[in-house]
Amino acid sequence: MAGTVAALGTMSGTSLDGVDAAILHTDGERIAGFGRTAFRPYSEAERETLRAALGRWDGPEVARAARVVEDAHAELLATFSEAGIVGFHGQTLAHDPGGRGTHQAGDGAALAARLGRPVVWDFRSADIRLGGQGAPLAPFYHHALARRAGETHPVAVLNLGGVGNLTWIDPARERPEEEGALLAFDTGPANAPLDDLLWRRRGEPFDRDGRLAAAGTVAMAVIEEFLRAPHFFRMPPKSLDRDAFAGLAERVAHLDDADAAATLAACCAAAVASGMDLLPAPPARLLVTGGGRRNPTLMAMIRAGVDCAVEPIERWDVDGDMVEAQAFAFLAMRVARGLPTSCPGTTGVRAAVAGGIFSVPEGVTLPAQLRAGSVQRRRMG
C-alpha cells in the first residue's frame, strides 16, 4: 500500500493496569498489516500515584502522575526502533467536555525529545474546542477494521475498558467522516467500578475470569436505580468520565463481595443494552474489545441483553487487547496527513476535525510519506 508507515500507537487506559503499544502499518485510511505489540505494566506504587491524580487538573499529584506516564512510555517505546511516527494518548485524569475540557497527563513534546522521533498527542482538545465531547476517538479505526474485514452490513464494536463505549458502523460508507458512516458514544461504566471494588475489598486488580460475579446474585433494585441516571436519557454522541458513576460504590456497599461484583457487572451489561436501543439500525453482530471481553460472566450478561450475535473482536483477526493502541497509531497517521479524526457522529463536534499536536524533534527527518501532509507541525528546538 503506497504511503504506508509503521505507526506506533499507545494506550494507558482508565483501568490503570499499564501501557499498551502496537505497531500498525497504515496510511491513515487503510490497514496494510499489524506489527509488534508490547505491554508495560504499572507497578503498584505507580498505580497509587495515578489513582491519587484521578479527577485532578493540576497540583503536585498531577505532576507526579505525568512523570510516571512519560517514564513508562519512554521505557516501552524505546524498544520499537521500526516506528516512523508515534501516537501518544497519555493518561486521562479528568474529562469534563461541558466544563473544563479534558486532561490527559503526559507531555508528547517531551516524549518526542526523549525518543528522537515525531509524536502526535493531545488528540482530544481540538474536538472539545469545536463543541465535541472529545470521546470516543477509536471509531474511525473501527470503521477501517470493519472494511478490512469485508463487512457489508452494519456492525457494532463495543469496547469494555474502565468505561464502555459503542461504535455503530456502516461499512458501505467509504470514509468514516461521511454522514451516516458512524455513530459512537459511551454506554456507561464498564470495568472501573468492578475493578475498584476488587481492589478495595480484596486487594486484587480485577475479577479474574468473572468468578466472583458468577458466584453472586444481582441486586435488581440497584440496577433499576442505576438506569434512571440522566446519562441514559441523553441522545448520542455522549461521553463520560471514569468516575461519573462513582456513587455505584455506595449502592453496593451493603452487599457481600460476590453479590456486589455480580451487580456491578450487571450494571455494565444493562448500560450496553440501553445503548444498543439508540443505534440507527440493528447491527449484524456486536464485536467486543478491551479487557471486559475476558470476563465470561459479563459477556454472558451482555449476550442475554442484546438481540444480535456477541463475539470477541478476534473474529476480525485483531488482537482485542491492542485495539485502542492500534487506534492511536491510525489516528496519528491521520493527523500527520491532515485527515479528520472525529466527526459529528462520533463526538458531536460541529464538523469533522483533525485533532492533535504533531511534535517533531529538531534534526529528525520525517518519513517521505509524512512530508506532504497538510497539518501544521510543531518543530521543536
Are 176 and 57 found together in one domain?
no
Are 276 and 344 found together in one domain?
no
Listed as own residue / partner, the contacts of 300-306 with beta carbons closer than 8 Å and 24 or more positions apart are 301/265, 301/266, 301/268, 301/269, 302/158, 302/268, 302/269, 302/272, 302/273, 304/269, 305/269, 305/270, 305/272, 305/273, 305/276, 306/272, 306/273, 306/276
Are 128 and 17 found together in one domain?
yes
| Strand runs labelled E in the chain | 5-11, 18-26, 31-41, 85-87, 91-96, 101-105, 119-121, 155-160, 163-169, 182-189, 285-289, 309-312, 357-361, 378-380
Are 129 and 158 found together in one domain?
no
Supply the pLDDT for residue 306: 97
Are 210 and 122 found together in one domain?
no
Inside any domain, residue 339: yes
Domain harbouring 364, CATH code:
3.30.420.40
Q: Which of 263, 281, 316 is at the close of a domain?
A: 316
What distance in Å separates the CA atoms of residue 333 and residue 338, rounded to the nearest whole number?
9
Inside any domain, residue 32: yes
Nearby residues of 244 by Cβ (< 8 Å), 6 or more positions away: 163, 189, 231
Are 279 and 312 found together in one domain?
yes
Are 167 and 100 found together in one domain?
no
Inside any domain, residue 116: yes
Q: Look up residue 209 and give its DSSP letter.
A: G
What distance in Å separates the CA atoms of residue 327 and residue 56, rounded to the nearest whole number?
26
Residue entry with cell 491510525: 330
Supply the pLDDT for residue 66: 97
Inside any domain, residue 258: yes
Domain of residue 178, residue span: 150-316
What residue type is assigned to position 15 of the chain?
S
Domain count, the chain: 2
Inside any domain, residue 366: yes
What distance in Å separates the CA atoms of residue 208 and residue 200, rounded to the nearest whole number?
15
Inside any domain, residue 143: no
Are 258 and 197 found together in one domain?
yes
CA–centroid distance for 194 within its chain: 18
Cβ atoms of residues 188 and 240 within 8 Å: yes
Are 276 and 291 found together in one domain?
yes
Supply the pLDDT for residue 370: 75
Are 328 and 247 found together in one domain?
no
Are 264 and 115 found together in one domain?
no
Supply the pLDDT for residue 241: 76
Inside any domain, residue 164: yes
Q: What is the pLDDT along the chain (381 residues), one digit of tens a residue?
A: 668 999 999 999 877 889 999 999 999 999 999 999 999 999 999 999 999 999 999 999 999 999 999 999 999 999 999 999 999 999 999 888 878 889 999 999 999 999 999 999 999 999 999 999 999 999 999 999 999 999 999 999 999 988 999 999 999 999 999 999 999 999 999 999 999 999 999 999 899 999 999 999 999 999 999 999 999 999 999 988 777 888 899 999 999 999 999 999 999 999 999 999 999 999 999 999 999 999 999 999 999 999 999 999 999 999 999 999 999 999 999 999 999 999 999 999 999 999 999 999 988 888 777 754 444 445 444
Supply the pLDDT for residue 373: 47
